[in-house]
Amino acid sequence: MKKTIVSLGVLLMVATTSAQAELVQFFKDPTFSGNGWSTQVLTLQQMEKAQKESIEAQAASRQAMINAAAQNTPLAKFMSLFQSQVYAQLATQLSNNLFQNNCKGADGSAIAGCVSPSTGTFNLDGNTVTWVKLTNQVQLTVVDVSGTKTVITVPIASFAF
């Protein structure tokens, strides 16, 4: 019985000391407490930005895969090869016409009534190409669709073999 009374006394003493202490509620979440609020806001913004960039990167990757698949078809490969062959032939014909005298026969004699053109212009995919053949040089002027002008001057005499 004595043990019961002692334990009851200790229990009352603990209960009265704990009842005297002030209870204070603290929130750990900065949303409620305000402590660390700016850090939390920055962290949330960084997470949102990272998620948005990830979504944009995935969309760009999907579009790149679609474009690559479209360019990898047999028809696209054929058209690309055909276009480069046409441009190569066009460049060869242009250089032959610029640097050869078309009014000479196979034996080197002049062809009667023939006039070798000394200038010309043609349009290629919206780009204007103009050439002028002078006695010692050929001047090629290319004006692209945005209006940028490129002039190439090639001396004729240096191509003698």
pLDDT for the residue numbered 76: 86
Which residues, other chains included, contact 123 with Cβ-Cβ below 8 Å and sequence gap of 6+? 129
152 located within any domain:
yes
Question: For residue range 58-95, what is the model confidence (pLDDT) as tens digits?
Answer: 999 999 999 988 888 888 888 888 889 988 888 887 77
Q: How far apart are alpha carbons 157 and 159 in whole angstroms?
A: 5
Residue 103 · residue 110 · CB < 8 Å? yes
66 located within any domain:
no
CA-to-CA separations, 105 to 4, 96, 100, 113, in angstroms, rounded: 135, 15, 11, 12
Secondary structure (3-state) at 151: strand
Helix (H) or strand (E) holding 149: strand 149-155
**Angle 74-99/37-71 helices, nearest 10 degrees?**
70
Residue 39 · residue 29 · CB < 8 Å? no
| Structural domain count, the chain | 1
Q: How many CB atoms lie within 10 A of CB 131?
A: 19
* Closest residue by Cα to residue 137 from 153, 121, 160: 153
9 located within any domain:
no
96 located within any domain:
yes
pLDDT for the residue numbered 148: 93
42 located within any domain:
no
pLDDT for the residue numbered 92: 84
37 located within any domain:
no
31 located within any domain:
no
120 located within any domain:
yes
Question: For residue range 86-144, what is the model confidence (pLDDT) as tens digits?
Answer: 888 888 877 777 666 667 777 777 777 676 677 888 888 888 988 888 878 888 899 99
> In terms of residue numbers, what domain contains 118?
73-159
Secondary structure (3-state) at 142: strand
Alpha helices in the chain (DSSP H): 2-20, 30-33, 37-71, 74-99
Global pTM?
0.42
